Homo-oligomer: A and B are copies of this chain.
Amino acid sequence: MQQEPTRDRLITTALRLFGEKGYQSTSVADVQRESDCHSGSFYHFFPTKQDLLLAVLERYRSAIVPMLIEPAWAGIDDPIERIFALLARYRMLLEISHCTYGCPIGSLALELHEPDPEVRQLLADNFTGWIDQVENCLIGARKTLGRGFDARRTAGFVLTVMEGAVMQARTYRDLRPFDAAVATLREYFNTLQRAAAREELA
């Protein structure tokens, strides 16, 4: 029953608290208390609160594939279905939190209005890593989506829709705006595939 090393424990706690309350509403003392860690010990590992944020964002980035993508895609092969399975993970997060917890990266991205370049870059890296995964799906489904199809642009659009949908679900405290956005996105893919099928015939 050995516990996680202090530095990792601090990151784990901060990751949770930043997601639940946001960066600014989480005090360093909060993180210390919930990590059973004293002030000097905290500052031994993280010179400033922002350094903790950087570590959290790095962990998020490295967790995208093993903690988010792989669980979402287990048992699902169709590339388009994988995209909607990923969106379903966010729906689940919203559901179990009663529409208070959505995408922590998106929340941080809008909460921090003038982030240091390092922070902003890591936020962007998280988005890019997410988009990369969706792009791979779309490349896998390219044949069904038509010739002029832009996989990268569409992958970015999927992130756009997810983030906007999470925002509305949280603001309305209601899953329906999220479901409506996903349904519209589904419809968009359907029309693309129908158009591609017609194109194939001609």
Q: Residues of A at under 8 Å CB distance from B?
A: 20-22, 24-25, 100, 106-107, 109-111, 113-114, 120, 123-124, 127, 153-154, 156-157, 159-165, 167-168, 170-173, 177, 180-181, 183-184, 188, 191-192, 195
A80 to B113, CA, bound (A): 32
Q: Apart from A111-B111, A127-B168, A191-B192, what are 14 other A-B pairs with CB-CB below 8 Å?
A: A21-B114, A24-B25, A100-B113, A107-B111, A107-B113, A110-B111, A120-B173, A124-B171, A124-B172, A153-B183, A157-B161, A157-B180, A160-B160, A164-B164
Report whether B123 and A171 are in contact in the complex, using a CB–CB cutoff of 8 Å: yes
A164 to B154, CA, bound (A): 13
List, sorted by A's number, 20 A–B pairs whose CB atoms are closer than 8 Å: A21-B114, A22-B111, A22-B113, A25-B113, A100-B113, A100-B114, A123-B171, A124-B171, A124-B172, A127-B168, A127-B172, A157-B181, A159-B168, A160-B168, A160-B177, A160-B181, A163-B164, A164-B165, A164-B167, A191-B192
